[in-house]
Amino acid sequence: MIESEKTRGKVLVLKPVGRLDSNTINAAETEMFAHLEKNETRIVLDLSELDYISSSGLRLVLMMGKRLSLKGGKLALCGLKPQIREVFEISGFISIVTVVATRAEAEAVVSK
C-alpha cells in the first residue's frame, strides 16, 4: 500500500508501507506511475514505514527517478530505516538518488 499526500508546496509525498518486493511491486508500480500520468513532477518518497525492499523495489525507485527527470521533475527519498539504507548503500543507489534524513529536507530539495 502506498499512502499519498499533496503538500501546500505542490509536492506529492508517497509513503510505501510494509514491503516493496515481487509480491507487491505490480500494484505499487501502477499506483506510483499513475501520479506521473497526472503530471506530478515534485515527488518525495517517504520510506519511514517501509520494512523491506527487494531489487524490484530498487528498480521501481530508479524508474521513478528517470521518468521524473525526463519530465523536468525531481525525486527525493527520506526516512530510510537502517536496513533500508543499507540496501541502498550496498546496491550503489545511494549515490544515484537524492537521499536526505527528513521529510522537510526532501520537500525542500524537490521544491527548488
| Concatenated DSSP letters of 87-99 | HHHHHTGGGTSEE
CATH number at residue 73: 3.30.750.24
Q: Is residue 12 part of a domain?
A: yes
Judged by phi (left if over 0) then psi (alpha if -120 to 50, else beta), residue 79 lies in: left
**Rounded Cα gap, residues 99 and 44, in angstroms:** 10
Q: Is residue 61 part of a domain?
A: yes
Q: Is residue 106 part of a domain?
A: no
The pLDDT tens digits along the chain (112 residues) read 788 888 777 899 999 999 999 999 999 999 999 999 999 999 999 999 999 999 999 999 999 999 999 999 999 999 999 999 999 999 999 999 999 999 999 999 999 8
The total number of structural domains in the chain stands at: 1
Look at residues 3, 93, 87, 96 and name the one whose alpha carbon lies nearest to residue 49: 3
Whether the predicted model's global pTM rises above the 0.75 cut = yes
Q: Which domain holds residue 75?
A: 2-101
Burial class (CB in 10 A: 0-12, 13-18, 19+), 107: buried
